Amino acid sequence: MAEDPKGILSVLRHPLFLLIVGSVIGSFLIPWISQKNDKNRVLREARLKKAVEIVDNNTQTLSQLNSMVTRLGIFHKDNIRLKPAPAKLIELQDKLADDMNRHYAEFERNGWWWYRSLNDQAVILEIVPPGGSDKLRNDVNAYADNITQTVAAFNDFWHKCLSKEYDFEENGKVTQIENKMNERLGQLATERVRLVNNLVQDFSVGP
């Protein structure tokens, strides 16, 4: 025997039934939706914070690297201009060595490390699967390689400025090394802008 549609409709319209349905929605569905929205909001904020941290850490790293390149450049430029005596030059080289070691120690505390854990952080923020992301790994490795090449680019100039064979002729061998260094650093800086943008984009995805 078929059920009376009007009877079913009357049950559905009954205040007690509506109260029960409303209670279920209020007790379970609405809190679940609210909790999910809160979680998504927290994750979005955490991802944005991490993207800002990437930019800040990159800026700090570049500031430390640039301070070393600038220190070397000033040393060589001043020597070309002032032409110090041999004894004075040794004194200036000792001072340069102390300054460079201090700057490099500051860079080394964070410059080699801050990007190494980005893939694990992306997993925590649910940006990538638990196993990680090949794209993010590649972006991190590319950035790490850029920093390694940047340090290598001014290493030769650094060692030449401290060597016994150092000369401060305006168009001498050391100046040519400096010019080659500056050209390479410019190339790496252009590439690094793209790499940092990739890392920021990696942390800007998700719900």
Phi and psi (nearest 5°) for 128? -125, 165
H/E segment holding residue 43: helix 30-82
The whole-number pLDDT of residue 40 equals 74
Phi and psi (nearest 5°) for 116? -70, -30
The whole-number pLDDT of residue 179 equals 95
pLDDT tens for 132-166 read 788 999 999 999 999 999 999 999 999 999 999 99
Determine the Cα angle at 189 with ends 185 and 193, to 5°: 170
The answer to whether the CB of 133 falls within 8 A of the CB of 122 is yes
The residue with greater pLDDT, 119 or 180, is 180
Q: What percent of the chain shows pLDDT beyond 90?
A: 60
Q: At what angle do helices 134-162 and 173-202 cross, to 10 degrees?
A: 160
